[in-house]
Amino acid sequence: MLDDIVDNSQLIDGFGRQVNYLRLSVTDRCDLRCTYCMSEKMTFLPKTELLSFEELERLCSVFISRGVKHLRISGGEPLTRKDILSLFQKMKTHLESGALQELTLTTNATQLEKYAEELFECGVRRINVSLDTLDQENFQKITRRDKLSAVLRGIEIALRAGLKIKINTVALRHKNISELDKMVLWAHSQGMDMSLIEAMPMGAIDEDRVDQYIPLFEVKEMLTKTMTFEDCTYRTSGPSRYVTVKETGGRLGFISPLSHNFCESCNRVRITCTGQLYTCLGNDGMIDLRSPLREDPSNKKLICAIDQALLKKPRGHDFDISRRGQAPSVNRHMSVTGG
């Protein structure tokens, strides 16, 4: 596939930021219904509209040839897509060649028990698990599903398989704030890093996000009553800014797109399962890659479309969660673009 690619120059946006990180959503479907993410009654895309694995592979190969070093597979819940491991197996060849430095995954872990060992065999070494509570009753309230035991089994098996896990937890003012200190201690006791994330105004949901949102500086202040935070220079390719918790020796990250955004250092773009390229998570502007992908097997039209999109990548996002009852800042749900 790489023989068809005619341009291997680096991806640079209009503000001089180099893009070396691609987040690829392989499905908008999910087997949970988290209250801050989607409505109970969701209308998902027809499966016929999704890009094939061959098309997803081709897209990824083009981006890798243009300097993308970090590829994250996401959704929705990516492990619910049938035959998903075939894509990981194809991407493993880029790891083996050295063109790709890291192949990672974001998952809710409900299917991880089934796939953990094979993911490791495909070259995945680090994954993010979205988990907002360790309490079974609260898990069912937040996700509208009774699957906490499957999630915890999946995490255990993944750790045993050799996968390094980071727990991603959305801070929800009235739903899990009192549990966050316990979650940090649990994650660190298992050798896992953890990141806290602010609720983001993406897509229509059944609740008002003003009731959900809490800025992370408030959470940080609350946690320092029982924990000591020390400066940490550790960084990944993502937006987390880490501290070390003195009492545990583990790392705790903070992702705060609303109270303290990280746009100036953004190195990421996102592609949906239908081939829409979003250069900013918090902006509805997108460029269609499916048409040039299918119209031109030489990839010339595809590369041109990618370059046009990069020039339109905004300086910062449009997130706003300040007014009760307002429409979401971004119309699409997080599950469409991928985390």
Please state the rounded mean pLDDT for residues 15-26: 93
The pair of structure tokens assigned to 50 is 């999704």
What are the chain's domains? 2-337 (3.20.20.70)
Is the Cβ–Cβ distance between 109 and 129 less than 8 Å? Answer: yes
Contacts of 243 (CB under 8 A, 6+ apart): 229, 230, 231, 232, 251, 252, 254
Angle formed by the axes of helices 53-65 and 85-97, to 10°?
20
* pLDDT of amino acid 259: 46
Residue 337's Cβ-side half-sphere holds a number of Cα atoms within 13 Å equal to 25
Please state the rounded mean pLDDT for residues 318-335: 46
Q: What is the overall mean pLDDT for the chain? A: 87
CB atoms within 10 A of CB 330: 23
One DSSP character per residue, 267-286 reads: -EEEE-TTSEEES-TT---E
Question: How confident is the model over 135-177, as pLDDT tens digits?
Answer: 999 999 999 999 999 999 999 999 999 999 999 999 998 899 9
Burial of 52 (C-beta count, 10 Å sphere; 0-12/13-18/19+): exposed
- CA gap 50, 273 in Å, rounded: 5
In this prediction, residue 329 has a pLDDT band, given cuts at 50, 70 and 90, of very low
* pLDDT of amino acid 7: 58
- Detail the DSSP E strand segments found in 41-135: 70-74, 102-107, 126-130
Residue in this structure with the two tokens 């918790």, named with its chain if needed: 245
Question: How confident is the model over 240-291, as pLDDT tens digits?
Answer: 889 999 999 999 999 886 544 556 678 889 999 999 999 887 677 789 999 9
In this prediction, residue 322 has a pLDDT band, given cuts at 50, 70 and 90, of very low
